[in-house]
């Protein structure tokens, strides 16, 4: 169930990206994000990472497990957000904030999220 929700969120993001005429490397981004998904779901379920208010993963505790995976995911998200922002004539920050709100709505109970004021809470 968790994977289905995350895939739905990921699909919406990537559909928007592909719809704007994404470059050929977009398939690579999609494949990498899909490959990382089980690790990210596990990190979220164990409370190690959460979704910040800018649309990126962030560590919520002292544990920095799988930091390379988190960094790679955030890098790919940033690439997608930049492409969407360019196509929409807006800023990367606004795209990320909108994405953060979408992610929060679909988050599973117990997952960590960051509100607009920067405070962390569990859904």
What 3-state DSSP class applies to 120?
A: strand
Listed residue (87, 78, 73, 99) closest to 13, CA to CA: 99
Listed residue (107, 110, 113, 111) closest to 5, CA to CA: 107
Query: What are the φ and ψ backbone dihedral angles of 57, each rounded to 5 degrees?
Result: -80, 145
The predicted model scores a pTM of 0.81
Q: What are the pLDDT digits (tens) for 72-86?
A: 999 999 999 998 899
CA distance 103 to 16: 15
Choice between 29 and 6, residue whose per-residue pLDDT is larger: 29
- Is the distance from CB of 9 to CB of 102 less than 8 angstroms? yes
Q: What are the pLDDT digits (tens) for 24-39?
A: 567 889 899 999 999 9
CA distance 57 to 54: 9
């Amino acid at each position: 169930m968790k994977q289905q929700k995350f895939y739905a969120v990921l699909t919406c993001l990537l559909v928007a990206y592909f719809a704007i005429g994404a470059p050929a490397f977009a398939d690579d981004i999609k494949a990498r994000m899909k490959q990382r998904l089980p690790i990210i779901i596990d990190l979220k379920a164990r409370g190690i990472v959460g979704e910040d208010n800018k649309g990126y993963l962030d560590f919520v505790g002292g544990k920095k497990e799988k930091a390379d995976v988190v960094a790679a995911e955030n890098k790919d998200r940033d690439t997608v957000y930049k492409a969407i922002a360019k196509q929409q004539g807006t800023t990367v920050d606004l795209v990320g904030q909108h994405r953060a709100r979408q992610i929060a709505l679909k988050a599973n109970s117990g997952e960590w999220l960051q509100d607009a004021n920067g405070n962390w809470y569990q859904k």
